[in-house]
Amino acid sequence: MDWQKEVAEARTVALRVLNSLEQIEKKLNSARRWGIFDLLGGDLFTSLIKHSKMDDAQRMLKEVQNDLQLLQRELKDINIHFVEDISTSGFQKFMDIVFDNIVSDWLTQSRINKSLQEVARVKAAVNEVLVTLNRI
């Protein structure tokens, strides 16, 4: 096995994951801003824009999950273990659009904030992996 090649492959995937996570953060921050507007009296249009941003982030999260699985395989090749999972739920989105009120808007804001925290946690873990890879 070409050790340096395996390390380079893992590093490439880790960097791709970080880039994707940064894009997800941008989408979620945008959704959060629209969510604040929604809480302050937005309408159906506001909710739809907010959820469009959230849908974009969710699609990107699925890609990141695939890349995280690939990263795990690459890291296993060089005896480094890394286990992370990120996901989102669609039920709250349904409630927010259909029952557009302050309670569902607040719950959606809370979910956006939790998603942002989760993205930050995974980014920190991937950054730690990159530090380890850069030492090899």
Of how many residues is the chain composed?
A: 136
Average pLDDT over residues 105-128: 88
Mean pLDDT rounded to a whole number for the chain: 84
- φ, ψ at 84 (rounded to 5°): -140, 150
| Structure confidence at residue 89 (pLDDT) | 56
Q: What pTM was estimated for this model as a whole?
A: 0.79
SS3 82: coil
Please, are residues 44 and 100 in contact by the beta-carbon 8 Å criterion? Answer: yes
pLDDT tens-digit map of 14-40: 999 999 999 999 999 999 999 888 888
Q: Which of 82, 86, 80 is nearest to 64 (CA)?
A: 86
Between the CA of residue 37 and those of 31, 103, 113, 115, what are the distances in Å? 10, 14, 15, 19
Burial class (CB in 10 A: 0-12, 13-18, 19+), 45: exposed
